[in-house]
Amino acid sequence: MKAPGTMLPSIFKHLFSKPVTVLYPAQRLNVPKGYRGKIVFHLDRCIGCQACARNCPSGACKMEKINDRNQPVFDLDRCLFCEQCAESCPKDAIELSQTFEMASYKRGQQIVK
């Protein structure tokens, strides 16, 4: 066992220093450039080629027939945010935004159509 009082110098050193963490809801941090957040899908650019669904490693992108048209549906509960779907889209219909606050109470509420 270490001698009593060996932590006191460390306590006094950090007692009056600036805090390392941020009080999150009150203070917001800037999102770094290149951050991969919530998927944004542009239906008007989509040609229904299914490249995004074929290349999705987690199976978060599925093709569904909506209004007589095949279009991808993204389940963000399964998404890895790897940006593979956006890279494989020939028409740039998929992009990842800087949005990171995506909490929900139930599964299946995080669907992007």
- What CATH number corresponds to the domain at position 48? 3.30.70.20
Distance in angstroms (rounded) separating the CA atoms of residues 39 and 27 = 25
Structural domains in the chain (count): 1
Give domain status of residue 13, yes or no.
no
Structural domain boundaries enclosing 57: 38-99
Give domain status of residue 4, yes or no.
no
Distance in angstroms (rounded) separating the CA atoms of residues 113 and 39 = 10
CB 75 within 8 A of CB 62: yes
Show pLDDT as tens, one digit a residue, over the chain (113 residues).
566 677 888 888 888 888 888 888 888 888 999 999 999 999 999 999 999 999 999 999 999 998 889 999 999 999 999 999 999 999 999 999 999 988 889 888 888 98
Give domain status of residue 46, yes or no.
yes
Of 45, 31, 40, 39, which is closest to residue 79 (Cα–Cα)?
A: 39
Contacts of 96 (CB under 8 A, 6+ apart): 36, 37, 38, 39, 40, 81, 83, 86
Q: What predicted TM-score, i.e. pTM, was given to this entire model?
A: 0.76
